[in-house]
Amino acid sequence: MNFKNIDIILFFLFIFNLCFSQSKWNIILGNWQDLSGYKDKSIGVMLKKSIFSQLQREKDFNVIEVKENELFFNLVSEAHSYCISNKADVIVYGFYYVEGKTLFVITEVWDVLKKQLKMRTEARGVVTIDIFDTIDEIAINARGKIREILPLLTLEEEVEIKKLRQTIYEKEEIKIERLFYTRFGFNFETGHKILKSATEFDSQGIPTKWDMLEGNFPDFFSLFGFMLRIWDIRVDFLGGSMPGFPVYMIDKGKIEDTSKYTLINLYFSYYLPFWEKKFALGLGIYASSTISGFYIDRDRGITNYDSSMEGPPWSLILFWNPNKNFELSFTLNLLFYQYEEYETDNGRREYTEIIYNIPLVSISPIYFFSKELGIEGRFLYSNKHIKLSSKHDSICETMSFYLGLVYRVDFLEIEKEKKNE
């Protein structure tokens, strides 16, 4: 015999098997629930194990067990949802009860692809010392009936099954979070500055004395923002104060209304495909005119407001959504050192240098106490050294507290409500 010809035949048989092998039935095997309150709960476990062993003997059955031992399906809709979430074709589960010495077993097979109860069979046996044999007989009988309703797939049936799987599973996968948050709240910002600057001037406005000054700068202002999530992309914005809403600053014991924008947060993030897409990682910018801003007044010393906006540093942000009622975010300023050189009106070259001794860090939780409404808190802290030109020098420590409401629009919930109407 020519061994080369045998090798060629085996090779083509292998390729044919790969190309035209039949698909397997994806089966989820659930638990059998005791309806009689029988003291021996091991019967349900034995039924499941025995039926699992029998179904595994079928080469075209891909069987996955329900791992939760206390999970039972009282309604077909519950079995359907579990099967869909695990992308299976059918789910097998059942019930049993004991009357005297008689064991009654009900086995159901729900077809997710065609949304119909494929099988509901009843079997009975005697509860004796030979209960293992009784359960094995019931399992063999169940396997034969399941084999009848799930026969070997022809090529035509295989194509139909694949189309059904694609249609059903794709519809479910479209149900990715699509959310919109509207945010509104108030921010209280406080801190301490130590500033080296000119304190005395001559008649022409030229500094004659430099000194170290200290001052506090508590601010109170409103913030407005939004969050938009489409698929796995998330955009967050929070800024203020709101147009028409004042910014109250307590300066040297006086409360002043400056009515200026003071804070901008803008972040772009992506939900990672790991860990059930509960974590999002992104980058953003943080810009503020109150945290590092300062102004020297001859009469009052340090004031709070500087009309220039501090250059927005890049920030790393991490979102964690363990469930629909809670989320937590953490941000960290990535630029620990910033330097900018510029030319003044008189032609001199000056510079601004910012060194973060403790980088700007914020933590923000949101808790939803209803489907639509939630409460958001935020804590921010930073400590930085600011050099403005060659002689101005300051150290600025800032803490910020934000509290606000979040109104959530869940487009998936809206679609579900429309379907149920």
Residue 207 has pLDDT above 90, yes or no: no
Q: Whole-angstrom Cα distance, residue 359 to residue 382? A: 6
Average pLDDT of the residues in 17-31: 71
Q: Which residue has the higher pLDDT, 201 or 327?
A: 327
Residue 94 has pLDDT above 90, yes or no: yes
Q: Which residue has the higher pLDDT, 69 or 344?
A: 69
What's the mean per-residue pLDDT of the chain?
A: 76
Average pLDDT of the residues in 102-121: 90
Q: Which residue has the higher pLDDT, 300 or 142?
A: 142
pLDDT at 255: 44
Q: Are 286 and 315 in contact (CB under 8 A)?
A: yes
Residue 247 has pLDDT above 70, yes or no: no
pLDDT at 330: 94
pLDDT digit string, tens, across residues 143-182: 999 998 888 877 777 778 888 887 777 655 445 678 899 9
Average pLDDT of the residues in 182-210: 69
Residue 420 has pLDDT above 90, yes or no: no
Q: Are 396 and 419 in contact (CB under 8 A)?
A: no
pLDDT at 127: 86
Residue 92 has pLDDT above 70, yes or no: yes
Q: Which of 187, 197, 400, 191 is nearest to 295 (CA)?
A: 197
Least confidently predicted of 28-32, 131-135, 386-390: 386-390
Q: Which residue has the higher pLDDT, 164 or 18?
A: 164
pLDDT at 376: 95
For the chain, what percent of residues have pLDDT higher than 90? Answer: 24
Compute φ and ψ for 420, nearest 5 degrees: -80, -15
For the chain, what percent of residues have pLDDT higher than 70? Answer: 68
Q: Whole-angstrom Cα distance, residue 140 to residue 133? A: 10
Residue 56 has pLDDT above 60, yes or no: yes
pLDDT at 342: 58
pLDDT digit string, tens, across residues 310-332: 555 788 999 999 888 999 999 98
Structural domains of the chain, with CATH: 24-152 (3.40.50.10610), 179-420 (2.40.128)
pLDDT at 403: 94
**Quick one: angle between helices 42-55 and 131-149, nearest 10?**
50
Residue 12 has pLDDT above 60, yes or no: no
pLDDT band at 277 (very low <50, low <70, confident <90, very high): confident
Angle at 322 between CA 224 and CA 237, to 5 degrees: 20
Q: Whole-angstrom Cα distance, residue 99 to residue 129? A: 16
pLDDT band at 305 (very low <50, low <70, confident <90, very high): very low
Least confidently predicted of 220-224, 349-353, 380-384: 349-353
Q: Which of 379, 57, 418, 320 is nearest to 190 (CA)?
A: 379
Those residues with Cβ within 8 angstroms of residue 401's Cβ, 6 or more apart along the chain or in another chain: 187, 188, 189, 377, 378, 379, 380
Place of tokens 């077809």: 111
Average pLDDT of the residues in 374-385: 87
pLDDT at 2: 47
Q: Whole-angstrom Cα distance, residue 398 to residue 193? A: 9
pLDDT at 344: 59
Question: What's the predicted TM-score (pTM) here?
Answer: 0.51
pLDDT band at 194 (very low <50, low <70, confident <90, very high): low
Beta strand pairing status for 25-34 and 61-65? parallel
pLDDT at 230: 87
Secondary structure (H, E, C), the chain: CCHHHHHHHHHHHHHHHHHHCCCCEEEEEEEEEECCCCCCCHHHHHHHHHHHHHHCCCCCEEEEECCCCCCCCCCHHHHHHHHHHCCCCEEEEEEEEEECCEEEEEEEEEECCCCEEEEEEEEEEECCCCHHHHHHHHHHHHHHHHHHHCCCCCHHHHHHHHHHHHHHHHHHHCCCCCEEEEEEEEEEEEEEEEEEEEEEECCCCCEEEEEEEEEECCEEEEEEEEEEEECCEEEEEEEECCCCCCCEEEECCEEEECCCCCEEEEEEEEECCCHHHCEEEEEEEEEECCCCCCEEECCCEEECCCCCCCCCCEEEEEEEEEECCEEEEEEEECCCEEEEEEECCCCCEEEEEEEEEEEEEEEEEEEECCCCEEEEEEEEEEEEEEEECCCEEEEEEEEEEEEEEEEEEEHHHHHHHHHHC
Residue 358 has pLDDT above 60, yes or no: yes
Q: Whole-angstrom Cα distance, residue 357 to residue 396? A: 10
Q: Which residue has the higher pLDDT, 107 or 200?
A: 107
pLDDT at 419: 59
Q: Are 260 and 244 in contact (CB under 8 A)?
A: no
Those residues with Cβ within 8 angstroms of residue 252's Cβ, 6 or more apart along the chain or in another chain: 215, 300, 301, 303
Top mean-pLDDT range of 219-223, 272-276, 372-376? 372-376
Top mean-pLDDT range of 88-102, 183-197, 206-220, 254-268? 88-102
pLDDT band at 14 (very low <50, low <70, confident <90, very high): very low
Q: Are 103 and 115 in contact (CB under 8 A)?
A: no
pLDDT digit string, tens, across residues 70-84: 889 988 888 888 888
